[in-house]
Structures are given as C-alpha cells and as structure tokens.
Structure 1
Amino acid sequence: MAQEQGGSLSEARARVGALHSITDLGRKLHFYGRWAAEYDQDVAALRYRAPRLAVDCLTQALPGPPHAARILDVACGTGLVAAELHARGFLQLHGVDGSPEMLDQARARGLYQHLSLCILGQEPLPSSEGTFDAVLIVGALSNGQVPCSAIPELLRVTKPGGLVCLTTRTNPSNLRYKEALEAALDGLEQAGAWQRLVAWPVDRWELATSELEVGPGTPDNDGFISGIVYLYRKREAAQMEGVRPRPQPPTDL
C-alpha cells in the first residue's frame, strides 16, 4: 500500500471504504449527503483519476467545437467531471444526482446550466429523448449505486450519433458488478443500439482503501486499484433498424 500522507488520507480511506461496503441505495444516498462537504478533499487524497480520464477519452472522440456540445453529467456529485469539462472548453453542462447535498456542492461551482435531483434506476432521467451530444456517468457504476438496468436510459437521452462515456472499478471487490455491466453493454451493442469505440483499462485508478480491496495475488500498483473507461457511439436511427452488428475489438486510446 502507498504510504499515508497525514490524517486526510487515513480519513478518506475510512470514508470511502465505508461507502464501498454499503449496498443499499437509501443508506448510500444518506452517506453521500453526510459526506458531501468533505468529498472533494477525500477523493483528492485518494488521487482519484476517473473524472479526468473520462473527459480525456470523450474529448478525443467528440466532433465539433466543445462549446457547441450539450453534455449530461449523470451522478454528477460535487461537479468534478464538470470542472474537467469546463477546463477543456465545454460550456453547456447539465447534471443530475440523487443526493441534494451533493447537488448543493455542484451548484456552488457555477459550471452547470441546469441541475436536477434524480435517482437513476428508480426514475427516468428528466430529459427528452435525443437531447444530449454526450452523456457521462463517472464513479456511480458499482454495487448499491446505479443498477446495470438503467444503462438504456443513458442511451435514450443521447442524440443519434452522440457519445456515452462510462466508468467502473475493476478491482476484486467490484468484479461481479463489472461482469454484469459488461453483459448489459454488450447486449445493447449486439442489439444494434450503439457501437463500442473504446475500452480503456487503467491500472492507477485511485488508491485502495484497504488491503482487502486490492485482493490477494493482485499486483500492488503502488497501492492503486484499477478501473476502466468505456466509450460508445449511439447508432443513427437508420443504422439501428435491422442491424446485425459484428463483434468489434475494443480500441485503446
């Protein structure tokens, strides 16, 4: 494990470790509400890289000028993804999250045009079909958070030809969820709903919160756990009719 850098890392590990152990959504949202004020400093202490990695991936694939793209940040939390998007010139940012307290933190950044309270998996996204040029969901695809059954809702609000970027952890404690997620992603591709552009495995995702999270026999990676970024393009309506897609190998950045 990486050497701790003062009390903040120890406290961050304790809080994130506690979060990962909660599988009930109601309890998880309550935890997020209590955590909102310390969230940014904790994930910084854990050197959490998913927001930057996801936005890097999206930026390389999205055509046209960034300021013209309408973006939805699902499970936006305190707005870490919005900060990365804004730094790259994206200005039309919309966010949804299930925690009012997290939305308060996101609102304070002043980067979103609109923020909505929404618990994805229990209710539809508050947007019409085909609204956004790109949709991101970063850090919320794990056990007890957004269920795999909600993935088609991300597609619904994406414009035909638009992009969907998703992330999840690939460390041992999240592997069962990752397998279910990939089955859902592959099922939509086989149905002709979208095309995979990128599957980008990342060894240094964030610092592990405990030895148990890393798992026995797993390479140390300086105390980091691993994760993955997926990027898909929604098929145009004409392409989706009667499509019989062939399996395509993932393309790394």
Structure 2
Amino acid sequence: MSDGSRTVDKVKTLLKPFKDSDLQQTIKLYDSLAETYDQDLDMLTYRAPHLAVDFLDVNFPGVREKVQILEVACGSGLVAKLMAELGFRHFVGVDCSKRMLDQAAKTGLYQDLRQALLGPEPLPAQTGVFDVVIGVGALDAGFAPVSVVRDLCHTARPGGMVCMVRGDHRGAASEGYREDLQRELQLMEDKWLWRPALKQSPR
C-alpha cells in the first residue's frame, strides 16, 4: 500500500545505499520498498531506466522479438516494461529482493526470475547466451561490487550488448567506486573482454 506521507526527502533517505558490510540491510530495504517502488522513483523523477532503454532503442541492431535479455537488479520490472514497449520480449530477471521479484512477476514479462545478491553470490545466469545484458542503478558502493561487471560481460554472447547505467551518486565512497569502475572497465577493454559502444543516445 502506498504511503501518502512520503516526501522526496524521505524517499531519498530511504534509497541511500548502505556500506558494503550492510548488504543484508540493502535487501531488507528493497523488500520494504517493493510495493511503492515505482511511485517512489516517479517522485524522484529518476531517469536512469529511461536513459538505458533510450540508448538501446538507438543502438541495438538486432530483431527485438527474438532477443534474449538478462536484467540484473531488475527490481519491480520497470526496465522490462519500457523495453517491451519497444518490441523486446524475452527477459530473465535477477534481484536481491524477493518482494521486488514478486512485483516483477506481476508484469508477466519475465520467463524466469532469480534471487541473488550481486557480488557475494554467483550470478545465476548462463555464460555467453544473452543478446542484451542490462543493469540500471546497481553499480555503486553499498549495492554491487565493481567485480560484477565482468560477470555481466561473461553472460553476454559474443557480439552481445551490455548496458550499464549508474545513478548520480555523490560522496567519497561513490567517487572511489566510480574510479575503481573506470579502472576495471579499462582493464577489460585492454584484454579485449569488451569494447565501449561508439554511438550515444541523442536524448
């Protein structure tokens, strides 16, 4: 049930990441937010899901109806709903929160939904099979470790697309995470594990 007393400041406080040592608290947080999560994001005018899907809309060259998609940190299913509007049909979702997965299941869009805490637990997905791997908002201190990006790339088929969008997180921990992430992505590029897309969404 939606809480009419929620304000933007309250929601921002609720969505503030925990320290890495408090990842179980992160699960409890998202369990508690599951039923009002989409409304909370609307309140914050959170654009990351839309930016990710806009980028795919511009840059993905394949036949969308046949594409196999792995969505990590799928939450309530907002990204899948946006992608379905563009013709994507086949989704596997992973999230740490059982209640979020319950909300995602209600969309009817996912062929499979799996619970896992990114980083401490193995990513429950086959390697080298997904045409698109997408994750929105999970790459920051207190959510998922930088090492997760290699796991995401390993699940993509050769030539597949990995789309990762970070929120606009502030503070020393987030800044350190951003630097570590850039370093990791550069190392992966140097080893030909991935290459960044050359095109950018115009929106």
The normalised TM-score by structure 2 is 0.89
Number of the residue aligned with 2:147:
149
* Corresponding position: 1:49 with 2:47: yes
1:161-188: CA deviations, max 9, x gaps? Answer: 0000001134432322211211111111
Q: Which has the larger radius of gyration?
A: 1
Is the CA contact (8 Å cut-off) linking 2:48 and 2:167 kept in structure 1? no
- The total of aligned residue pairs comes to 195
The CA distance in 2 between the partners of 1:96 and 1:13, in whole Å, is: 28
Q: CA deviation at 1:8?
A: 5.9
Number of the residue aligned with 2:188:
188
Number of the residue aligned with 2:124:
126
The CA distance in 2 between the partners of 1:79 and 1:39, in whole Å, is: 10
The CA distance in 2 between the partners of 1:170 and 1:45, in whole Å, is: 16
1:132-188: CA deviations, max 9, x gaps? Answer: 001001011111111101111101110000000001134432322211211111111
Q: CA deviation at 1:9?
A: 8.9
- The answer to which of 92-101 and 17-26 deviates more is 17-26
Which residue, 194, 200, 203 being the options, matches 1:252?
200
2:194 partner letter: W
Instruction: Say if 1:113 and 1:86 are closer, same or farther in 2 by CA, change over 3 A.
Output: same
Which residue, 163, 166, 169 being the options, matches 1:168?
166
Q: CA deviation at 1:21?
A: 4.7
Number of the residue aligned with 2:18:
22
Q: Identity percentage over the alignment?
A: 39
Is the CA contact (8 Å cut-off) linking 2:96 and 2:115 kept in structure 1? yes
Is the CA contact (8 Å cut-off) linking 2:71 and 2:94 kept in structure 1? yes
The CA distance in 1 between the partners of 2:91 and 2:39, in whole Å, is: 23
1:79 partner letter: G
SS of 2:185's equivalent in the other structure is helix
The CA distance in 1 between the partners of 2:58 and 2:150, in whole Å, is: 24
Unaligned runs of 5+ in 2: none
SS of 1:16's equivalent in the other structure is helix
Q: CA deviation at 1:101?
A: 0.5
Q: CA deviation at 1:58?
A: 1.6
Number of the residue aligned with 1:231:
none
The CA distance in 2 between the partners of 1:92 and 1:10, in whole Å, is: 34
Task: Write out aligned runs for 1:79-158 (5 A).
Answer: 79-158=77-156
Is the CA contact (8 Å cut-off) linking 2:73 and 2:135 kept in structure 1? yes
1:63 partner letter: P
Q: Which runs of 4+ in 1 moved over 6 A?
A: none
The CA distance in 2 between the partners of 1:167 and 1:39, in whole Å, is: 18
